[in-house]
Structure 1
């Protein structure tokens, strides 16, 4: 497959896209990001006395145990959430295949751009970032920019733009590729993508 004057490998940028594989990888990614720190108190954990509210029989009232029972306002929560680890293992082959399919989908839809350089100077400037997007003709789109390696000046220059994300090749993932309307790849990042997906 050819994008501009760059020839791309078909085994990475022209793979048949299977939506179910993409769904599996995105589901795995989002599950991995969940903190799982949600927690509610059971009736044994709320700070109330364990004393029985009223005698079991003879008062004409309904039967009740202690004040912390889950039927009372402020009582314990029955079957509430507890801290959970949502991570599960997805085979490495499926993860790599998902990444190839996500890249292929952008290439096949004509939403893949390749640029030679991204010069932001020595100090982060959002103005320069906007100029870069303007020159590429993608100012009003959701854009994922992929650079060969971490570059704090580039990343900080785009940080204030809500519709732009910048990732080094090592952080490239299916969710962010599918989120973007346009995938912009640095020429030097292409070789690193080959290395990552061929390993």
Structure 2
């Protein structure tokens, strides 16, 4: 496969070489927006707790005795105090615990990541740094580093392996998220304004999602 060169910088925003990337992963011309939407929908469905629960008639406490005879009283017929028509009674067709996850092919998920990455590249919202060897876990220091890199707004910070210092620093700022390359998903790619990969991370992700 033919590759193209993408610049790499260090954490001081100085040139540090380049990385070979595949256009089949990062430079797709026809972005499949529906596939991206489906990947986001699947991601959100998996995150739903599905714990909403209401009581059916057999679960509501109360006697099963018929309250009055069927006919002759002039009142509406009633079979149980647990009827959904009464206060404190059951719920008709109410929600019950369920799993909202559904099958979404692995090939489709990987293709959706490729299309999302291509959209971010086309918008100029992807940056590659040499590594994430920061000196401290302080959030203020990480923000200063990102400012040097020209990263403004929210950012997704991707490393080949979990960096404890970066994770701690990003964890105190809701606009930042630090993840490993194998944890990259379409939802996070779209949620954050910019994506900052380490060189090893972008190569590892490319190897996984390439066609």
TM-score (norm. length: structure 1): 0.92
Alignment match, 2:52: 38
- Aligned residues: CA RMSD: 1.7
Bigger mean CA deviation after superposition, 52-61 or 96-105: 52-61
Deviations 1:47-79 (A, max 9, x none): 111112222122221111211111112211100
Match of 1:53 among 67, 76, 99: 67
Once the two structures are TM-superposed, the CA of residue 198 in structure 1 deviates from its matched residue by 3.7
Determine the C-alpha separation between the residues in 1 that align with 2:115 and 2:55: 44
Deviations 1:150-174 (A, max 9, x none): 1222111110101111110111101
- 3-state SS, counterpart of residue 197 of structure 2: strand
Is 1:150 the counterpart of 2:168? The answer is no
Gaps of 5+ in 2: 8-17
Is 1:163 the counterpart of 2:187? The answer is no
Contact 1:3–1:112 (CA under 8 A) maintained in structure 2: no
Contact 2:21–2:203 (CA under 8 A) maintained in structure 1: no
TM-score (norm. length: structure 2): 0.87
Gaps of 5+ in 1: none
Contact 1:120–1:157 (CA under 8 A) maintained in structure 2: no
Once the two structures are TM-superposed, the CA of residue 2 in structure 1 deviates from its matched residue by 4.9
Determine the C-alpha separation between the residues in 1 that align with 2:31 and 2:90: 48
Bigger mean CA deviation after superposition, 89-98 or 48-57: 48-57
Determine the C-alpha separation between the residues in 2 that align with 1:47 and 1:157: 51
Determine the C-alpha separation between the residues in 2 that align with 1:74 and 1:137: 60
Alignment match, 1:8: 21
Match of 1:113 among 127, 139, 160: 127
Q: How many residues align?
A: 197
Matches within 5 A, 1:60-99: 60-99=74-113
Determine the C-alpha separation between the residues in 2 that align with 1:179 and 1:3: 23
Determine the C-alpha separation between the residues in 1 that align with 2:202 and 2:209: 11
Contact 1:32–1:86 (CA under 8 A) maintained in structure 2: yes
Once the two structures are TM-superposed, the CA of residue 6 in structure 1 deviates from its matched residue by 4.1
